[in-house]
């Protein structure tokens, strides 16, 4: 079985990388400037790393998180001395890959080698071969999607396109800041959206028109998808009169918490309607309790490793949207979850029935060997492989992208080898599926 897994993997290991959803910074590819140093590149932006260090008593200030000044070499040493904390985690696998494959470091990272690592990495980053575009090419990335707010001018994406560089970097439409009434600065965001679009975003029709305009602009900048990071998967299907009335309350800030939830739900359905017109597929990433640690949020801001998954219902929550668009063949809604108990119970049965639904890969905390295996074991028998969409790295840790795709390819090949060993599929089918999971399905589902 291990031999078969290895043989399957050998055939897909070098396929180009399709990265249809993630959070890399387009300015890297626009400016192609050198990355700063080991800590700035690998530690400070990686909430997987600093959350674990924090859980074991390290102060975020000492790592230079949240704008607090810290000596990058000293911060790196803190990581190095505690690298054993990451045993058994995917962060360890990804970092080891970066150290050895990208920087050629073969000694073990610990307190004694901390400086060697810091210097080797930091020096390499000053060379041409480690500029963003050079790494993009070296990594074999065929296309990568970033994620931007409607309020983003997409100037970096424009610069990339005008630069003549052949790398394909596209955007994705993530409208949470102007859709979620609980988002910081929601009111100001509406005003900014009005300015950007020339629409009156205090009126329901103007607000919807502004979305349509920005979506069209994003599509022009290569976007093939939208993305929605709501606390729940709740959708709604209000009459247009009710929707307008709700919008007025939300836009004036005088809404109740339940109205914020209802508005987010209604906007998912509105976005679906727009998708049917402009062809952008939808992604829904629900179920994270954002910024759970109040004091940390106040001192260091959002996205500091304190987002905690919640139990998430899909069967009731999605019904309003599905009642309206569930049977559409020209609309795609890709569902993600942080609640694995929904894989076999809700998500696979939904995706194995509704024409518009597809399942995104194991997400975030579950983007790991065990997590990916659970995903395949709990979804395949009901939804099959063709209702899934290949792999997303979903990361801002640019250097780890090949490692993440590599882990996914290995785990999927391992799973396929199990199916062959149990006579559930033939080996030639496993080979076809290995390629589909590594490359074809992502390309097709995301229209890339």
**Could you say which residues in the range 50-79 bind its own copies, by CB under 8 A?**
51-52, 54-57
Return the residue of 303, 313, 427, 440 that touches its own copies, per CB under 8 A: 313
Q: Does 104 bind its own copies (CB under 8 A)?
A: no
Segment 388-427, which members bind its own copies (CB under 8 A)? 419, 422, 424-425
Q: Residue 146's closest CA among 307, 23, 2, 265?
A: 23
End-to-end C-alpha distance for the chain, whole angstroms? 33
- Residue found by looking up tokens 């575009």 in the block: 133
Least separation in angstroms between residue 129's CB and its own copies is 27
Among 145, 172, 351, 408, binds its own copies (CB under 8 A): 351
Q: Which two tokens stand for residue 407?
A: 């882990």
Shortest spacing between CB 280 and its own copies, in angstroms:
19
Binding residues with its own copies: total (CB under 8 A): 76
Task: Give the nearest distance from C-beta 346 to its own copies in angstroms.
Answer: 6
Report the nearest approach of its own copies to the CB of residue 203 (Å): 32
When binding is defined by CB under 8 A, the residue of 369, 440, 443, 444 that contacts its own copies is 369
Nearer to its own copies, 59 or 138 (CB): 59
178 binds its own copies (CB under 8 A): no
> Within positions 253 to 312, which residues make up the interface with its own copies, using CB under 8 A?
289, 292-296, 305-311
CA 448 to CA 52: how far, in whole Å?
35
Strand order of the β-sheet with 333-335 is 225-228, 281-284, 333-335, 357-359
Q: Which stretch binds its own copies (CB under 8 A): 37-45, 214-222, 241-249, 376-384?
A: 376-384
Q: Which is nearer to its own copies, 165 or 365 (CB)?
A: 365
Q: Rg of the chain over CA atoms, in angstroms?
A: 22
Task: Concatenate the DSSP letters of all residues of 198-241 into one string.
Answer: SS-TTSHHHHHHHHHHHHHHHHHTT--EEEE--SS-------HH
How far, CA to CA in Å, does 226 sit from each of 211, 220, 332? 11, 13, 11
CA nearest 122: which of 191, 76, 180, 158? 76
At closest approach, how far in Å is the CB of 426 from its own copies?
8
CB nearer its own copies, residue 93 or residue 171: 93
Pairing of strands 169-170, 308-309: unpaired
- Does residue 355 belong to the site contacting its own copies (CB under 8 A)? yes
Residue 56 DSSP code: T
Nearer to its own copies, 34 or 419 (CB): 419
Segment 323 to 342, residues that bind its own copies, using CB under 8 A: 323, 326-327, 329, 338-341
The minimum distance between CB 384 and its own copies, in angstroms, equals 5
Considering the rule CB under 8 A, would residue 251 count as an interface residue with its own copies? no
Longest dimension (CA), the chain: 67
Q: Which is nearer to its own copies, 161 or 435 (CB)?
A: 435
Smallest distance from the beta carbon of 278 to its own copies, in angstroms? 20
Helix ranges restricted to H, 301-385: 319-325, 341-342, 348-351, 369-383
């Amino acid at each position: 079985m291990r031999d078969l897994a290895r043989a399957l993997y050998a055939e897909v290991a070098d396929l180009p990388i399709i990265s249809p959803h993630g959070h890399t910074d387009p300015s890297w590819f626009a400016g192609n400037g050198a990355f700063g140093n080991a800590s700035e590149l690998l530690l400070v932006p990686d909430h997987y790393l600093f959350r674990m260090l924090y859980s074991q008593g390290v102060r975020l200030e000492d790592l230079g998180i949240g704008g607090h000044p810290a000596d990058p070499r000293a911060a790196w040493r803190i990581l190095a001395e505690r690298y054993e904390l990451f045993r058994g985690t995917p962060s360890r696998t990804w970092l080891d890959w970066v150290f050895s494959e990208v920087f050629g470091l073969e000694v073990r990272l610990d307190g004694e080698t901390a400086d060697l690592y810091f210097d080797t990495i930091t020096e390499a980053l000053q060379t041409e071969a480690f500029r963003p575009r050079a790494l993009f090419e070296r990594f074999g990335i065929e296309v990568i999607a970033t994620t931007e707010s409607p309020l983003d001018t997409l100037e970096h994406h424009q610069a990339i396109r005008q630069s003549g560089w052949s790398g394909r970097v596209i955007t994705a439409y993530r409208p949470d800041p102007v859709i979620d009434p609980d988002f910081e600065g929601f009111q100001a965001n509406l005003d900014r959206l009005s300015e950007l679009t020339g629409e009156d975003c205090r009126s329901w029709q103007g607000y919807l028109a502004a979305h349509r305009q920005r979506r069209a602009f994003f599509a022009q900048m290569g976007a093939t998808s939208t993305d929605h990071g709501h606390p729940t998967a709740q959708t709604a299907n209000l009459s247009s009169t009710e929707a307008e009335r709700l919008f007025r309350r939300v836009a004036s800030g005088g809404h109740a918490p339940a109205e914020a939830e209802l508005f987010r739900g209604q906007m998912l359905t509105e976005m679906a309607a727009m998708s049917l017109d402009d062809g952008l597929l939808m992604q829904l990433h629900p179920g994270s309790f954002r910024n759970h640690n109040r004091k940390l949020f106040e001192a260091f801001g959002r996205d500091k490793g304190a987002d905690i998954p919640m139990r998430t219902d899909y069967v009731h929550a999605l019904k309003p949207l599905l009642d309206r668009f569930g049977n559409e063949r020209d609309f795609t809604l890709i569902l993600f979850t942080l609640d694995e108990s929904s894989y076999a119970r809700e998500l696979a049965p939904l995706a194995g029935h509704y024409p518009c639904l597809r399942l995104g890969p194991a997400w975030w905390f579950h983007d790991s060997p065990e997590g990916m295996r659970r995903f395949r074991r709990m979804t395949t028998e009901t939804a099959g492989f063709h209702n899934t969409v290949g792999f997303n790295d979903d990361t801002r840790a640019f250097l780890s992208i090949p490692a993440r795709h590599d882990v996914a390819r290995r785990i999927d090949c391992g799973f396929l080898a199990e199916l062959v060993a149990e006579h559930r599929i033939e080996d030639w089918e496993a080979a076809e599926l290995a390629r589909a999971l590594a490359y074809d399905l992502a390309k097709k589902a995301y229209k890339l």
